[in-house]
Amino acid sequence: MDKVNIALLQMKCSKDKKENLDKAIELMKESAKNGANIVSTQELFLTPYFCQVEDWENFKLAEEINEENKTIKKLSMVAKDFNIVIVASLFEKRTDGIYHNTAVVIDADGKFLGKYRKMHIPDDPHFYEKFYFTPGDLGYKAFNTKYGKIGVLICWDQWFPEAARLTAMKGAKIIFYPTAIGWLPSEKEEFGNSQYNAWETIQKGHAVANGCYIASINRTGFEQSPDGNEGIEFWGQSFISNPYGEIIKKASVDKEEILISEIDLSIIDETRITWPFFRDRRIDSYQDLTKRWLD
């Protein structure tokens, strides 16, 4: 298929995992009825963004991810019944003491295609992810789905051009970025516009540099910090960019919504011929990229 409809589910999340799952499933069904072929959730869509605090109790929110997992079974049934590919972001318990921030891909026939584990793990005020997540060890991946080859990266991954490049080199024509990012209220007035513009710009740059589509799915709404600190105002504005870095469609700042857009995968070859970045890469000169720093 050249023309594919993708849907991004921009949600607010309650403390009830079942409620969040049920809401997401209803949005998936609605997306399918409106023509969507591929549907993606935001980052950690089953829960509030619990990484605002370091709390041992939050590890109980994780689940083992495999084909027997109840969440996977429910999503697989929706994928099969509505003929859609699903990208879903989950908190994975791999084994005792090892947890990951993980995205799964389920094909339109309900088949579990596999998972991607978030590679870059932040540790910033209110984003204490290193407390919870072990860095991913599955590498960068692309998944062959009914509607095309897609890649998945997660939130903090979106700031790293190497991650987008390697995912595109795996053959991904669309890179999905399930995300949870927003403003700290005390910083919004001074830095809010700059922070958002940087986030949007870096991802549009990945689209241009790799000649692919980018789909970034953010949560929306204000989430109070459990410890009484200022909380996070998630800035929504999920968006889809074409290979020229042009935003095809963007969601609102503060509303729950389904962002659906048709994309044309046939322009990727045309774009990469016109701007042959892959052809002209000097792969013989990039060895130092594997070093932390050049003194």
Q: Let me know if residue 160 belongs to a domain.
A: yes
Closest CA to 215 of 1, 4, 2: 4
Strands 213-218 and 239-241, by their bridges, are antiparallel
Q: Let me know if residue 50 belongs to a domain.
A: yes
Position 88 scores a pLDDT of 98
Q: Let me know if residue 179 belongs to a domain.
A: yes
Cα–Cα distance between 82 and 76 in angstroms, integer?
A: 10
Q: Let me know if residue 63 belongs to a domain.
A: yes
Q: Let me know if residue 295 belongs to a domain.
A: no
Domain containing 19 equals: 3-290
Q: What CATH code is carried by the domain that includes residue 96? A: 3.60.110.10
Position 122 scores a pLDDT of 97
Closest CA to 46 of 88, 93, 105: 88
HSE-up (13 A, CA, CB side) for residue 82: 25
Q: Let me know if residue 279 belongs to a domain.
A: yes
Q: Let me know if residue 149 belongs to a domain.
A: yes
Position 1 scores a pLDDT of 79
Tens place of pLDDT per residue across the chain (295 aa): 799 999 999 999 999 999 999 999 999 999 999 999 999 999 999 999 999 999 999 999 999 999 899 999 999 999 999 999 999 999 999 999 999 999 999 999 999 999 999 999 999 999 999 999 999 999 999 999 999 999 999 999 999 999 999 999 999 999 999 999 999 999 999 999 999 999 999 999 999 999 999 999 999 999 999 988 899 999 999 999 999 999 999 999 999 999 999 999 999 999 999 999 999 999 999 999 999 999 8
Count of structural domains, the chain: 1
- For the annotated catalytic residues, the residue numbers are 43, 118, 155
Cα separations (Å) of 197 from 71, 188, 200, 203, 235?
Answer: 35, 13, 5, 10, 11
